Structures are given as C-alpha cells and as structure tokens.
Amino acid sequence: MALHIKDSDQQAVFEHSRSGYPHEACGLFGGNEGFVKTFYPMTNVAASGTVYLLDSREQLEVMQAMDDAGEDLIGIYHSHVASEAFPSPTDIKQAFYPDSAYVIVSLDDMEKPDMRAFMIVDGKIGVEEIKVIEGE
C-alpha cells in the first residue's frame, strides 16, 4: 500500500525539515488507508543532527487529536540533514510501529529534498512507494 500525500503537505514537510536544520526535524502523519490527512509537525527534543526523539507529551496530544479526527498513525517522518533518505541503524532499532510508514527526508540537496518511505518490521526494511497528489 503506497503512502499518498498532498503536494501542499509534502511542501510543508520540506519546509519543516529546512527550518529544523542543522538538527533533524520530525513529525507524524495522521490519515486512513495510506492517505495522509493531517501533517503534525513535532519537536525533536534530542535537538541533534544525527538522531530524533519525539516529545512524549506532545506525542500524546497528537495521538489524541488523531483519535478525535478518526485518523490512524500512518506515517512517522524525520529528516536527515546530510545523509541519504534511508533508515540508519538507530532508526531501525527505534522503529516501534510496524503498521506505520517511516518517512525520511534528506536535505543533502537543500533545494530539492528527497522524500522516501519505508516499512520497518522486525528490523527488516521494505520500500514503500510515495504518491504525491497534486493540488491544494
């Protein structure tokens, strides 16, 4: 199942990634059946250029908001400030949501960020196709 994201949401994610630089940025995608309905920008409390850590209280609030909106957690995004958009060993170790896509944005080329998605189950990485929906 591919991950569908609106062009406007993808641009918002790129902007959020750039604004977090030189730290990794992170956020969550709420939606249904592989369609992103809402992008929730999050704080990287690790404030690091090599790892990200969600704020647990902020995460609880967003999970509640998703629940209220009838959304599932379908994507977990973070940026890589200099490396390619591929899960690091740490990313794999910290992938606790087998039903959620792991979306990585590489800022290796700031002008043209690269967004890729993966499913990470039991330490195994599968590539998830991203379909960008034009408009809005």
Name the site residues for Zn ion (rule: CB under 5 A): 88, 91
Question: Which residue lies nearer to Zn ion by CB, 25 or 71?
Answer: 25
Q: Nearest-CB residue to Zn ion?
A: 91
- CA–CA–CA angle 23, 28, 30 (5° rounding): 165
Give the C-alpha separation, 62 to 82, whole Å: 28
Tokens in use for 90? Answer: 């740490």
Minimum Å gap between C-beta 46 and Zn ion is: 11
Question: Which residue lies nearer to Zn ion by CB, 65 or 92?
Answer: 92
Provide the β-strand partners of residue 77: 27, 103
Minimum Å gap between C-beta 88 and Zn ion is: 4
